[in-house]
Chain A
Amino acid sequence: MKKQIIAGALALSTVIAIPAAMAKVAAPVAKAATKEKVSISGAWVRPSMMGKDMTAGYMKIKVTGTSDTLTKVAVPMSIGMAELHETVMVDGSMGMREVKQIVVAKGATLVLKPGGYHIMLMGLKSPITVGQKVPITLTFKKMGAVKVTATAVE
């Protein structure tokens, strides 16, 4: 079992290919004049499954200029609600927990990916289908709100 746990941890740390998805990043809404900068790439969400009102979204968030803290994720109410979650492994078992904030060091890239941090989308008002654009707002302590559009890909 110990071996399996080690492997699980290794598997978690391996790079999981993120489908090429178009991500349009708008400039920070607030404090645009400051030195802080974030660039978001590869934003995608998994289409929701039939009969399920939930899914997950992923992206890479590079923070330059200063460290910052991601404190909130949101989607329009017409879509549903969003929370920042993390998949964790405890004694060889995997589960999810909500994360209140994630500190990103200056110059670091926060990777939201399957098996790790992700944006949990729930209470979906209608199914998310392949090709659909999902606007997501990320709120940072210093930078304020940053908008990104994620595309639903299989």
Chain B
Amino acid sequence: MEFLSALTPLFFGLVGFGVVVGIIFGAIPGMTATMAVAVCLPMTYGLDLTNGLALLLGLYVGGISGGLVPAILLNIPGTPSSITTTFDGYPMTQKGEGERALKTGIASSLFGGLLSALVLFLFAPTLADFAIKFSYIEKFLIILFALTVIASLSKRLLLGIFSGVLGVWLSLIGAYDVSVGGNGEYRLMFGFMEPYLESGFSLLPVLIGLFGLATIFQEAEAGIREEVAGDLKLEAGKPFSFAVFRGQIVNLFRSSAIGTFVGMLPGVGGSAASVLSYTQQKNFSKDPSKLGKGAPEGVIASESANNGLTGGALIPLLSLGIPGDSTTAVLIGAFTLQGIQLGPLFIGENLATWDTMMVALVFANLVMFAVMFFAIRHIVKVITIPKYLLYPGIIMMCVVGAYAINYGIMFDVWTLLLFGILGYLGQKVGLEIAPLIIGFILGQQAEVYFVKSLESFGTLSIFFTKSPIAMFLWVLIGISVAYSIFGLIKARQRDRDHGPDQ
């Protein structure tokens, strides 16, 4: 019960604060949970690990949950994962049932979040125990698997893989680190860059640039349009009651489970989870024709899945050190900052931290529910904060995050700008940011595991013959590649049947 001493009022206060800030970020269209975590990172610099995590997990849960507000009221998904919430949530608002839709979504979010936290609590330690036995060879194969999964779920297969590999390439810039057995030589740059790039680009400025600054450039290009909410009649129609969940228990469990499972797959992102659970609900629904026209069951499916993601994405993060989505990718940066190396050893060596994390996650879900359920009418007003006040402040916070990460290096601020521009232009030519970031995070490890394995065994065949686990991982990689090729062929056929624009 060592962890109980860490549960101070400050700890709970920070979770609550994080949730509220996260909800605000999630509720403003164009701003995401990833951005909330990235922008608020500097605040954790001054906190210890437990309190820093409390804040970050609050932001994470709040950010994912807040997305339902504009989805339901404005027909604009606040986060990518709430896209399917718009399908039924917005029609409900049009019928005057806005408050009913919001509260249905909030209660479903709570259920999804809690179920996924339970799954995380049960499975992450087991997976980590199993992964402790992994040698460099299995670790390399895990990373390879992660990269193939990203590819199979990118919008365009080849561009997704290219983005992932490009991320790996970017991570290799700098010296081949002596501390991991490298020879300390510089590569992939010109001589004049050496003083700045000895240890490569720092992760956080890269992340904040790609997710924070790039978004603002995109919005600036579009002219910073304000979404007009108009006159919202929240409760003209049917009021909310928990009776809405009658007959939806299976839906709740299935959608939360889909969310959790999809969250576990690296690099997949939230929209896949909610789209998948929404289509499943449509398949199993007693009256599928109602879906899309303002059926609460659609909101339930979408929202429980997208909060199911939160626990799911933390499973590979905490047990293998592999981020499940872009938000957990930012969390990796936060852990590194606190001197924690995520991986199979993390939970076993930091039991107290692990327990406090679980408390923070569950508490964050409860606070999210309490805040949103009872104060939803005030939160709704957040979507009317003008962007011309908001965005300049975000750029300012991005600068703080980048500058302070290595205790004051101006080069990190320029990295921020460089990657902000790269993210903005890259998306125009079809680069996909999530694979790029995951490649960037895993690239250096992939190199060390690969090169060191070859140095000790001297043959490529070792990757196939080392252990049964290695062979099993190859099977997974094979399935993932086959799945993506199958998806590609199916998409081609659909294009041929309906024309590419369908």
A, B: real partners: no
Residue numbers of B with Cβ under 8 A of A are: none
